Structure 1
């Protein structure tokens, strides 16, 4: 890939953008504006849903796009198979296990996977490995900074 600038977002473009994700109540769930570091998106690489990419196709530098996506096209639906109950003894004693805490778990292949503590009852800990925004309809605000081939 080159850093050659294109005029519009195409199906294989690399797009540098400020991205803000809002919940339906208007609260901000995440934003690159907080860090001041826009994010690169690679169109067509499978990282984003077709519905998401469809809003960007044809956009130009400095365009600000605002669109709503249902959960299935944003971060996916909640998958019950991604919720696990673990015995509290499986957690290191030096960490605080509280509802809402996000912990990193090492998978058998060595990859790290974040899990959210959803409930603690007696010796059972309910850990949710779904994306934190899974099941949420969201609003995206995308400000295109740069388009590259």
Structure 2
């Protein structure tokens, strides 16, 4: 039976959870996820778990933040003036918004706090700083 290796195109079913058991993503009910092993298409810890697996094999892996979405970057937490927000927009902690950078590219942010003059926005990936647990099943290997 052939084992997955760097450069192979693989298909996997997966379930992603936090340590609390809360599920944040899954391929359940969808086509399996397809990617090239070692091509940098996946977070590092997920990619590193695939070489050596055989079709039909299942495993559970735990990925540290450094090998997932990184640690929280305090510089990505910004104070945004309320005067720049439409007055009819009601902001609440946990709301997801989109800002644009100088080049016009969207930057997803989460409202973490609403103060009198400013809104605190977090532009870190929502899984940054978190240890991730994945249940993986390798369903196909093609070279």
Please tell me the TM-score bracket, short chain as reference.
Answer: 0.7 to 0.9
**Structure-1 residue corresponding to 2:118:** 124
Alignment of 1:71-82 (within 5 A): 71-82=65-76
**How far apart are residue 50 of structure 1 and its match?**
4.2
Which runs of no fewer than 5 residues in structure 2 stay unpaired? none
> Could you tell me how far 1:11 is from its partner in structure 2?
1.0
**TM-score in terms of structure 1 length:** 0.83
In structure 1, runs of 5+ residues without a counterpart are 1-5
User: Which of the numbers 57, 66, 69 marks the counterpart of 1:63?
Assistant: 57
Alpha-carbon distance change, 144 to 81 in structure 1, aligned in 2, over 3 angstroms? same
What SS class does the counterpart of residue 56 from structure 1 fall into?
Answer: coil
Q: TM-score, normalised by structure 2?
A: 0.86
Distance 2:22 2:74 in 1: 26
Separation in structure 1 between the aligned mates of residue 5 and residue 53 of structure 2, nearest angstrom: 8
Alignment correspondent of 1:10: 5
Q: For this pair of structures, how many residues does the alignment match?
A: 143
CA RMSD of aligned residues (A): 2.1
